[in-house]
Amino acid sequence: MSTVGIIANPAAGKDIRRLVAHGRVVSNQEKANILRRVFAGIVSMGVDRILIMPDHSGLARPGSHDVEGQIAIDYVEMPVADHQGASTNAAKAMAEQGADCIVTLGGDGTNRVVAKGCGEVPLVPISTGTNNVFPTNIEGTLAGIAAGVVAIGALSRDEVCKRSKRIDIYVDGEKRDDALVDAAVSTQMFVGARAVWDTKTLHAMLLTRAEPASIGLSSIGSRLMPISIDEERGLYIRLAGEPGENATTVRAPIAPGMISDVEIRDWKVITPGEKIEITQHPGTIALDGEREVELLPDQKVFASLSMDGPWVVDVPLAMRLMATK
């Protein structure tokens, strides 16, 4: 049975960066409208089933009503999503229940937690968050069609997907967490509001990709060396900590409407498996723009670039290949 999973984060696009920057607000009504278009695209490809993560806002209800009787609609049997771990659990359940592709609505943070559970199931990430390097601003109808093409096997994963990377964080020898785009070491001691918007608090960062047309912390790296989603390399950047320190200044859009001058002490290309020691104590590590890991005294912490991130459907490529078949 061909199946497309749907994971839509009702909290995406609503964090503190609406106050400290000019991040857009993506309403739940707009997310529901996007899903209506996604569902139409999925149905058009003859997919057998849509499997949905339940959420308190009922984002998928309008789309489900639109396609009632045309496709099987099921919900993952789990508590209604009210924390980020729910997206991981939903992705894991979808993979176990035979999902062929998963469409996500959210930002980098949403996709980071989905990637923890999706395994080898490809993702079609639609941007509805704040920092959107991993997901793209793809039209919902096209996203649904591309997901459907993969689900029914008309195009294979190897034909239309790229394997993304991740940064793995190890604390005292055990993996603690990971990031899909950027891991930033902050001098701030507490997780707090999670979001990062002040580069003056940053000590260093590791990037899986650095694309000039992106926004967020990874845009800093793109001013040094552009790196794409599937290149077998990443960047390690140390930021200047003291005024007057020998540094290179780059100007980058670190958040919506926020363009900052960032002083770089030094940087280098990193390769898969290379260990980068994190020496900042105390502090925190922000993963894909949100502080998640607290750095405590006497901990041994290092980060490493992995090529085993989630598969991502290249929607424009899928549409081109479909047109030639």
List pLDDT tens digits, range 195-243: 665 778 889 999 999 999 888 889 999 999 999 999 999 999 999 765 5
Q: How confident is the model at residue 132 (pLDDT cuts 50, 70, 90)?
A: confident
- Strands of 166-171's sheet, edge to edge? 174-179, 166-171, 301-306, 275-278
Q: What angle do CA 111, 112, 113 make, to 5 degrees?
A: 90
Confidence of residue 158 (pLDDT cuts 50, 70, 90): very high
Task: For residues 123-152, give the mean pLDDT.
Answer: 91
Higher pLDDT, 128 or 51: 51
pLDDT digits 0-9 by tens, 315-324: 999 999 999 8
What's the rounded mean pLDDT across residues 53-64? 94
Assess whether pLDDT exceeds 60 at residue 134. yes
Structure tokens at 221: 């790296």
pLDDT of residue 81: 63
Q: Delineate the domains of the chain, giving CATH numbers in brackets.
A: 3-164+311-324 (3.40.50), 166-306 (2.60.200)
**Tokens 């998963």 found at:** 102
b/e per residue 304-323 (b: at least 16 CB within 10 A): bbbbebbbbbbbeebeebee
Task: Give the closest residue to 312 by CA, choosing from 154, 113, 150.
Answer: 150
Question: How much is the average pLDDT of 30-52?
Answer: 97
Q: Give the per-residue pLDDT at 324.
A: 86
Which of 100, 116, 117 shows the shortest CA–CA distance to 4? 100
What is the SS3 string spanning 93-133? HHHHCCCCEEEEEECHHHHHHHHHHHCCCCEEEEECCCCCC
Residues 318, 155 contacting (CB under 8 angstroms): yes
Of 179, 170, 138, 131, give the one whose Cα is nearest residue 318. Answer: 138
Lowest mean pLDDT among 33-47, 189-203, 279-293: 189-203
Kind and range of the H or E run holding 19: helix 17-20
- Between 210 and 19, residue with greater pLDDT: 210
